[in-house]
Amino acid sequence: MTTVDSSVQSVFESLSGSNAAKKNEPRGNDELGQADFLELMLAQMKNQDPMNPLEGEQFLAQLAQFATVQGVQSMETSISDLAQSLQSSQALQASSLVGRSVFVTSDRAMLESGASVEGRVAVPTDSVDVTIEIQDAAGGMVQLLKPQVSPEGYAEFQWSGAASGGNTAPPGDYRIAARSVRGGEVLSLETEVLARVDSVSLGQAGQGMQLNLSGMSSRPLSDVLEVH
């Protein structure tokens, strides 16, 4: 019998001591614990060929491989726990938005009876003649708004349903087309609409938390630009 390298022996003793309590823990039939692994390695040492013994470095390499596998498994468990914690935190955050209004990017808005459509447009520097065109389902112009641009570079608008010619537009879904002029070129601008959060749907099938907005399709929590 050959003498095992002292560094290898010390590693064995350390691992054996730290895993003695784990040896009797229930495990699946296909699971190999550290204690089992050490027993196999000790048996390998006792039965190795005296004329061709394994080097201490080989044992250390095997231990390192086993530790790496256990480290990856432990990291997977930690990541799973973290994901569940983040999902719970996100659910609480999303539920606190129910009943409040949020700004989301959209070129459509729902005009409800007795209510107004509110939104804003980020206007590029040096742009002039900002217009907000409210269109019906067929693309026809219902109203043309010309909001002022704030020092922060936003053009805020509010439409109560008044149509061109003094009529009142019926409640329903309307399209919003925002434009400005810069250097003689007409630019199409992205609109942000204020919408009420009616409810929250928990993420399923790989989807994240969804906000159910009044008059709009569901949106992920990440789409929220500002809360009011």
Q: Is 87 inside a domain boundary?
A: no
Buried b (16+ CB within 10 A) or exposed e, 134-144: bbeeeeeebbe
Q: What is the mean pLDDT of residues 192-205?
A: 85
Indicate the range of 27-36, 41-50, 131-140 predicted with least confidence. 27-36
Higher-confidence residue of 22 and 96: namely 96
Indicate the range of 64-68, 106-110, 197-201, 220-224 predicted with least confidence. 64-68
**73/119 Cα distance (integer angstroms):** 49
Contact (CB, 8 A) for 215 and 112: yes
Contact (CB, 8 A) for 70 and 62: no
156 and 218 in a single domain? The answer is no
What is the domain count for the chain?
3
113 and 185 in a single domain? The answer is yes
CATH number at residue 150: 2.60.40.4070
Length of the chain: 228
Question: Does residue 104 have a pLDDT over 80?
Answer: yes
Question: Does residue 3 have a pLDDT over 60?
Answer: no
> DSSP of 82-140, one letter per residue?
HHHHHHHHHHHHHHTTTTSEEEEE-SEEEE-TT--EEEEEEPPTT-EEEEEEEE-TTS-
121 and 180 in a single domain? The answer is yes
Structure tokens at 208: 């994240």
**76/10 Cα distance (integer angstroms):** 29
What pTM did the predictor assign? 0.60
Structure tokens at 40: 């196999």
Band the pLDDT of 215: cuts 50, 70, 90. confident
- Provide the 3-class DSSP secondary structure of residue 44: helix
Residue-wise pLDDT for 128-182, tens only, equals 999 999 999 899 999 999 999 999 999 999 999 999 888 999 999 999 999 999 9
Q: Is 185 inside a domain boundary?
A: yes
> How much is the pLDDT for 75?
74
200 and 182 in a single domain? The answer is no
Q: What is the mean pLDDT of residues 34-44?
A: 67
> How much is the pLDDT for 13?
53
CA 137 from centroid of its chain's CA atoms = 33
**160/172 Cα distance (integer angstroms):** 12
- Provide the 3-class DSSP secondary structure of residue 191: strand
200 and 98 in a single domain? The answer is yes
> How much is the pLDDT for 35?
66
96 and 140 in a single domain? The answer is no
Structure tokens at 13: 């003793």
E strand intervals along the chain: 101-105, 108-111, 117-122, 128-135, 141-145, 154-159, 172-182, 185-189, 191-201, 210-213, 219-220, 226-227
Average pLDDT taken over every residue of the chain: 79
Higher-confidence residue of 128 and 4: namely 128
- Return the residue matching tokens 């399709």: 217
Rg of the chain (C-alpha set): 33
Q: Which domain covers residue 30, as residue numbers?
A: 6-74
Residue-wise pLDDT for 60-95, tens only, equals 676 667 667 666 766 777 676 655 655 566 667 778
* Of 170, 172, 140, 174, the residue nearest 157 (C-alpha): 174
Residue 98 neighbours by CB under 8 Å, 6+ apart: 197, 198, 199, 200
> How much is the pLDDT for 2?
45
Higher-confidence residue of 52 and 105: namely 105
Contact (CB, 8 A) for 38 and 15: yes
